[in-house]
Amino acid sequence: MPSVSEAGYWHPVTSSVDWCERNYEVFFFVAEFWNTVTCLGMVGAGLAGLWLHWDCPIERRFRLAFGLVAFLGGGSILFHAMLKWWGQMLDEVPMLWTALTTSYIVLEDGPTSNGKHGRWLPWALALHAAGTSAAVALASGRWQFFLFHLSFGSAQFFSLFRVFRIYQRRKAEGDAAAVGLFRSGGTAYVVGLVCWQLDLLCCHWLSERWPAVFGLPNPQLHAWWHMLVSTGFYCLITLCCYDRLKTLHGAAAAVAWWGGVVPYARCSATKTKHG
Per-residue pLDDT at 254: 95
Does the pLDDT value for residue 272 go beyond 80? no
Tell me how far apart the alpha carbons of residues 148 and 143 are, in angstroms, rounded to a whole number.
Answer: 9
Q: How confident is the model at residue 5 (pLDDT cuts 50, 70, 90)?
A: low
Q: Measured between alpha carbons, how far is residue 56 from residues 60, 181, 247 in Å?
A: 10, 18, 14
Band (pLDDT 50/70/90 cuts) for residue 1 is very low
CB 247 within 8 A of CB 111: yes
Helix, strand or coil, per DSSP, at residue 39: coil
Q: What is the pLDDT of residue 275?
A: 53
pLDDT score of 213 more than 90: no
Whether 3 has a pLDDT exceeding 50, the answer reads no
> pLDDT value at position 115?
66
Please report the pLDDT score of residue 155 as a whole number: 92
Average pLDDT over residues 217-242: 96
Q: Which of 45-54, 75-84, 176-185, 243-252 has the lowest mean pLDDT?
A: 243-252
Helical spans, DSSP H, in the chain: 33-37, 40-52, 60-82, 85-107, 120-138, 141-172, 176-201, 203-204, 210-214, 221-249
> Comparing 68 with 1, which gets the higher pLDDT?
68
Query: What is the pLDDT averaged over residues 209-234?
Result: 92
Rounded Cα–Cα distance for residues 34 and 80 (Å): 9
Condensed to tens digits (0 to 9), the pLDDT of residues 84-140 reads 999 999 999 999 999 999 999 999 887 766 667 778 888 999 999 999 999 888 888
Average pLDDT, stretch 180-207? 94
Distance CA 196, CA 216 (A): 19
Mean pLDDT of 43-68: 95
Q: Is the pLDDT of residue 270 over 90?
A: no
pLDDT of residue 273: 65
What is the predicted pLDDT for the residue at 113?
Answer: 66
Residues 141-157: pLDDT tens digits?
A: 788 888 888 999 999 99
Average pLDDT over residues 223-231: 97
Give the per-residue pLDDT at 45. Answer: 98
